[in-house]
Structure 1
Amino acid sequence: MKIDFAPWHVPLNRRLQTAVTLVWVFSFLALAPLCIFLFLYLLFTRYWLISVLYAIWWFTDYDTPWRGGRRVPFLCDLKLWDHMRDYFPVKLVKTADLDPKHNYVMGFHPHGVLVAGAFTNFCVYTTGFRQLFPGLTSYMLMLPLWFRAPFFRDYIMCGGLIPSDKESASYPLQVCRSGKAVVIAVGGAPEALDAHPGTFNVLLAKKKGFIKMAMEHGAHLVPVFSFGENEVFDQVDNPRGTWLRWTQERLQGIMGISLPLFHARGIFQYSFGLMPYRKPIHTVVGRPIPVQKNPRPTSEELDALHQHYMDELSNLFEKHKTDYGVDKNVHLNFV
């Protein structure tokens, strides 16, 4: 295989973009296991007190992720995140106002491999979420497993990430009656296995938990579609019914995380590696769907609102797809 190396004279700004994006990829793929190893390793060295003191802190602070987390605005506002935004680049597109007098449940689609668009738009402050939607604070959901990793849990909480179970997701909506936006990658880890370039499979047909949560708390629903999310990585073919897909789904059921076999480009060459491609991501925020508070919705009420949400997401996709390079004959496939 011929390797396509990057030219020597790459502008400094592009090198910085690659460096920051590399840190982000490393954080998602390897930082949690490294933190666990470091915590255990230090216990058997002269620095054992660091792990012991952290364990005490961890015990006293254990519930924080499930109580709204601990975002650090200073870190979210660092200019280095501008380099990651510009690497792809990522753009947040507003189609309607979101009144800060309400709370919102924002459904993010599709998940993609590493939810690059969701992180860049809703965790750090580089694409203008606070300016486009003044008065709103976003909380991005992440698998609870990652909040059980020492050190790593504190790192991800800095960006406003909270666990994706019902208790944690509901907390901001319970404590505050307005100004909170809980962002859910609805398809979750299973949808990452369908994240192939040129595909628009959305795992939503049977996903009703976030709809019920919105009804229970009277939070308005907002569909969000991220054009280009599936384009930044290639993935080994794994159609449903193949042995590879069967293995991935079984591992996902056991471990709680999916293991897509993805690849893209490298750091100093463009032929292979785990760095995402430089392809644009446009995250389009749709108009809100008003939701009346209903602590005990019936199945019929839940199904009706779920269908309404799918219709709004489909309309959002259809209205904007040709603006972002999607063929007019392509439609969303609800799985």
Structure 2
Amino acid sequence: MKINFAPLDVSLQRRLQTSSVVLWVFSFLFLAPTCILLFFYLLFTRFWLISVLYAIWWFFDYNTPSRGGRRVPFLCGLKLWEHMRDYFPVKLVKTADLDPRHNYVLGFHPHGVLVAGAFTNFCTYATSFRQLFPGITSYLLMLNLWFRSPFFRDYIMCAGLIPSDKESATYPLNQRRGGNAVVIAVGGAPEALDAHPGTYNVLLAHKKGFIKMAMEHGAHLVPVFSFGENEVFDQVENPKGTRLRWTQERLQSLMGISLPLFHARGIFQYSFGLMPYRKPISTVVGRPIRVEKNKKPTAEELDALHQLYMDELSNLFEEHKGNYGVDKDTHLNFV
């Protein structure tokens, strides 16, 4: 295979963009296991006290992720994330106001491989979420597994990430003052296995937990579609029924995380690697769906709101797809 190396005269600006994405990819894929190894390694060195003191801190701080986490605005606003935004680039598109007197559940679609759009738009200040939606604070849900990693849990909480269990997700929605938006990549880890370029499969047809949560807390629902999310990585073909897909689904059911065999480009060459392609991601935030508080919704009420949400997401996709290079004959496929 011929390797297409990057030219030597790449501008400093592009080098900074690449460096920021290298950090993000490393953090997403390798930082958690690195932190776990570091924690245990220190126990057998003269720096053992660091791990012991951290363990004590962890004991007293254990419930913080389920109580809104610990966002650090300074870190969310670092220039680093603007470089990451410009690498793809990532853009946040507003279609309607969100009243800060209410709380919201934002359904993010599709998950993609590494949810680049969700992180950049809702965990950093690089795409002006605070300016577009004044008075709204976003909380992106992440698998509980990552909050069991020493050091790493504190790192991801800095960006406003919280665990994806019910207790953590409902904490911001219970705040009566309003102005909180819980962002859920509804398709989750299983949907990542369908994140192939040019596909628009949305794992939603039987996903009603987030709908019920919104009804129980009277949080308005907001459909969000991220155009380009599936385009930044290639993935080994894994159609349902193949041995590879069976293995991936089996591992996902056992570990809670999916293992898509993805690839794209490298740091110093464009032929292979785990760096995403420089392809635009445009995340469109739809109009809010008003939800009345209903502590015990019936199955019929739940189904009706779920269908309304799917219709609104489909309308959002149809309304904006022409702006982002999607063929007019392409439609969302709910699975």
Q: Same fold (TM over 0.5)?
A: yes
The equivalent residue for 1:3 is 3
Farther off after superposition, 169-178 or 203-212: 169-178
Distance 2:267 2:87 in 1: 12
Deviations 1:136-155 (A, max 9, x none): 00000000000000000000
The equivalent residue for 1:96 is 96
Displacement of 1:290 in angstroms is: 0.1
Residue 235 in 1 paired to residue 202 in 2?
no
Partner amino acid, structure 1, of 2:115: V
Residue 21 in 1 paired to residue 17 in 2?
no
Displacement of 1:175 in angstroms is: 2.7
Distance 1:27 1:144 in 2: 16
Displacement of 1:79 in angstroms is: 1.1
Distance 2:71 2:318 in 1: 35
Residue 164 in 1 paired to residue 164 in 2?
yes
The equivalent residue for 1:85 is 85
Residue 209 in 1 paired to residue 212 in 2?
no
Q: Secondary structure at 1:181's aligned position in 2?
A: strand
Partner amino acid, structure 2, of 1:82: E
The equivalent residue for 2:52 is 52
Distance 1:176 1:65 in 2: 19
Displacement of 1:105 in angstroms is: 0.1
Residue 32 in 1 paired to residue 32 in 2?
yes
Distance 2:2 2:322 in 1: 34
Residue 287 in 1 paired to residue 287 in 2?
yes
Distance 1:326 1:259 in 2: 27
Moved over 4 A (4+): none
Partner amino acid, structure 1, of 2:143: L
How large is the RMSD of aligned CA atoms in angstroms? 0.4
Task: State how 1:1-335 maps to structure 2 within 5 Å.
Answer: 1-335=1-335
Distance 2:240 2:95 in 1: 35
Q: Secondary structure at 2:174's aligned position in 1?
A: helix
Displacement of 1:177 in angstroms is: 3.8
Deviations 1:247-284 (A, max 9, x none): 00000000000000000000000000000000000000
Partner amino acid, structure 1, of 2:292: Q
Distance 1:221 1:115 in 2: 20
TM-score by length of 2: 1.00
Partner amino acid, structure 2, of 1:55: A
Q: Secondary structure at 2:138's aligned position in 1?
A: strand
Deviations 1:110-167 (A, max 9, x none): 0000000000000000000000000000000000000000000000000000000111
Distance 1:67 1:11 in 2: 43
Q: Secondary structure at 2:296's aligned position in 1?
A: coil
Distance 2:124 2:269 in 1: 28
Partner amino acid, structure 2, of 1:97: D
Distance 2:139 2:292 in 1: 21
Displacement of 1:240 in angstroms is: 0.5
Distance 1:221 1:144 in 2: 23
Displacement of 1:176 in angstroms is: 3.6
Q: Secondary structure at 1:224's aligned position in 2?
A: strand
Matched residues, number = 335
Partner amino acid, structure 2, of 1:50: I
Q: Percent identity among equivalent residues? A: 84
Deviations 1:92-117 (A, max 9, x none): 00001111111000000000000000
Q: Secondary structure at 2:24's aligned position in 1?
A: helix
Distance 2:176 2:40 in 1: 38
Q: Secondary structure at 2:108's aligned position in 1?
A: strand
Distance 1:6 1:134 in 2: 41
Q: Secondary structure at 2:139's aligned position in 1?
A: strand
